[in-house]
Structure 1
């Protein structure tokens, strides 16, 4: 990331939950980012906000602490920055990579604050293309396996992980695992293909098929509140009846493509089903 950070034109702040949840570190030099590139015990440990001075300087607000006093927190929307959730390796298993993300808020959120989001969006798409170029084409993130829905004790606080080896053990009967998180296993592309072939052996019960709304994961991520929710279509099971009646408008995805004023397109919740993927009257089917 340091190669994309130019302190002359850009600003950067970092929140590291493993050090202090109530503090933002201001980064003035790209080499300082190495301070936060450490192994972590949980996902979403390190959050990086990066912005361009030509768009907006960082905006701050005072937030009171329960134990007294206050701390300076970022005004996220008014700062108009790119939000980077750094992917970090687990200390317990170097083969597992906690899933990171890169993004900005919805356009409508900025507009509700009286902010034109287009300059930020144009920069974000340029920045994202540069980010993708850093990815090694010889490796791929494996995300499937969430159809294995059995509970076992798991050492990761608040989350579980599915790796290539774990799926092999599930298929051999050595392990039963309940998946409840967004944790990736980075493997070679050949392993990723083999992994997906193995997943096909983990089929839904007879008379059921994979849920279209969550793709069998049992959970969905909603951008509107940046949170993971139980999939209402399958009630978290990952499978639905073969006769399940999906929304005709979005075909079960919960979203539709709509044109933007600038000629582009973007997604929004399906107006027919309200983003559920099915019509309410079908819920009992």
Structure 2
């Protein structure tokens, strides 16, 4: 990806809070990732439910998942947002079946609350601490669990209050896209899940969460956590950094 393109996308992350990246995964790769999700079995806090299945830290299951930590066209923007020493704080696979409800309007993480009037100055750019990439493995239409976002809502300076459904008169809008597209959004953006209103389709989704170097990596089961040696052996230098192999710094 060109530096100019990344710079333009970074500006959009500051202005809108999200960027939709087109055609990041190709059809054969999409097929392979869907099949790999179908082979997953629950570990620790993972679950297979009536209307959705959820698997955490899938990068540690098999070297196959490493390619999805730093896909070209995504990792360049993640590093521009969070620094070239950013790392992964999670990689989660989902299947959302017919009847899946989704979630309420929320923001994932704020480093601190700030007065909204401070954030309305267009010259002020609030640094990002965490970003999430949604790798869509299906064509997402209005019925198949589109992610809902409120553009610019990261400038609210807070999370939505209980029952709050819009910000500054702006309602959540669905992100409709093709299989292989990736939505990258900042953790302070107001967003929501939505229902699977189809009769016979499940949405397959892979999330990759990126954090600044000083944001803790959250790998369950925590004190019992250990890296899969096969994964570490197969990882590139960038992937090893994303997994936590950093140069020494202030608190090491």
TM-score range, shorter chain: under 0.3
Q: State TM-score, norm by structure 2.
A: 0.22
Q: State TM-score, norm by structure 1.
A: 0.20
Please identify the structure whose Cα radius of gyration is greater: 1
Q: Which has the higher strand share?
A: 1
Report which structure shows greater RCO (CA 8 Å, sep ≥6): 2
